[in-house]
Amino acid sequence: MASIVSCFSKFCLTLFLLVLFHGSTNAKLSTNFYSKSCPNLLPIVKFIVHSAIMKEARMGASLLRLFFHDCFVNGCDGSVLLDDTSSFIGEKNAAPNRNSARGFNVVDDIKSTVEIVCPGVFSCADILALSARDSVTILGGPYWDVKLGRRDARTASQAAANNNIPSPSSNLNQLISRFSAHGLSPRDLVALSGGHTIGQAWCTTFRARIYNESNIDSSFARTRQRNCPRATGSGDNNLAPLDIHTPTYFDNSYFKNLIDRRGLLHSDQQLFTGGGPTNSIVRGYINNPRSFRSDFAAAMIKMGDISPLTGTKGEIRKNCRRVN
């Protein structure tokens, strides 16, 4: 009888561990993930993001870009936030991020504040997701319910960042291919590119376009040339707005710029080329700004689902810049 009880107990323990393992490694993101563990989380994040944007409107675009650059490199896992260590070279010094990725201090402020209220609960990866949404809404863009529950990576890859983040010099086929590799459609590509309705870019990212390309409005090119000399090394870090009309307000004027051949980056203008497969999407967003807002929100949710770490994978970092 004792042996039967012992055997049954072992069976129950094994079954429990299997269920626990299955549930923890297959955990899903949810919009109410922190509702019990940290109910004051959302207003804290929004307050800090709002304060940062009031100090510098450009910060909203920077936080949105951080989330994009995080998700496109091994998934939405907060790896872009990690500083280099003796064991790995991280993403901060990859070509798409070096001296241009911004907003790390805002993430630090959010993390340190939330750690006081809810220690060991809120992941850095989720900070990026929430701060991107709040940045967009604060600057006039759409609201969406952010799915949460991501955990943080314990490592990062500079090589992956160099290979996976689309370049400003990408052509349309390259953009479609790069987004498709992450499960994002051409419509997602155009909608997410509409995030360039806010923010600024360095001269180095658009110099070749304003001096060498023909698919560009001549007066627009001359305007940009005033602050971006032709010679490499001269004015490289000078900034220009990605949207010439409303650079600190989230609207659909970015797409109007493309039709007028006033896309700042080569990759921007590629979305509206002669006979290109994304032309009709661009026109649709001009004629129906509501559809752009809706598609942008849906694409952000979709992007946020790229390979998150959940359950027992990864960790909840105490400091977003380093592993525990």
Catalytic residue numbers, as ranges = 69
Residues 323/82, Cβ–Cβ less than 8 Å: yes
Residues 304/147, Cβ–Cβ less than 8 Å: yes
Question: In 10 A of CB 219, how many CB atoms?
Answer: 9
Task: Give me the phi and psi of 54, to 5 degrees please.
Answer: -65, -30
* 73 annotated ligand-binding residue: yes
Task: Give me the phi and psi of 207, to 5 degrees please.
Answer: -60, -50
Name the DSSP class of 84.
P
* 243 annotated ligand-binding residue: yes
Residues 309/150, Cβ–Cβ less than 8 Å: yes
* 22 annotated ligand-binding residue: no
Hey, what's the torsion of the CAs at 228, 231, 232, 237, to 10 degrees? -20
* 219 annotated ligand-binding residue: no
Q: How far apart are CA 211 and CA 196, in angstroms?
A: 21
* 79 annotated ligand-binding residue: yes
* 305 annotated ligand-binding residue: no
The amino acid present at 83, given as its one-letter code, is D
Q: Structure tokens of 30?
A: 């949810």
Hey, what's the torsion of the CAs at 272, 201, 68, 130, to 10 degrees? -120
Name the DSSP class of 196.
G
Bridge partners, residue 240, by sequence: 201
Give the SS3 label for residue 309: strand
* 166 annotated ligand-binding residue: yes
103 φ/ψ sector (left φ>0, alpha ψ -120 to 50, else beta):
left
* 182 annotated ligand-binding residue: no
Q: Structure tokens of 225?
A: 């040339």
* 246 annotated ligand-binding residue: yes
* 152 annotated ligand-binding residue: no
Residues 171/33, Cβ–Cβ less than 8 Å: no
Q: How far apart are CA 269 and CA 245, in angstroms?
A: 16
Q: How far apart are CA 121 and CA 241, in angstroms?
A: 37
Residue numbers in the known binding site for Ca(2+) are 70, 73, 75, 77, 79, 91, 197, 243, 246, 251
Annotated binding site: 70, 73, 75, 77, 79, 91, 166, 196-197, 243, 246, 251
Write out the binding residues for heme b.
196
Annotated binding site for substrate: 166
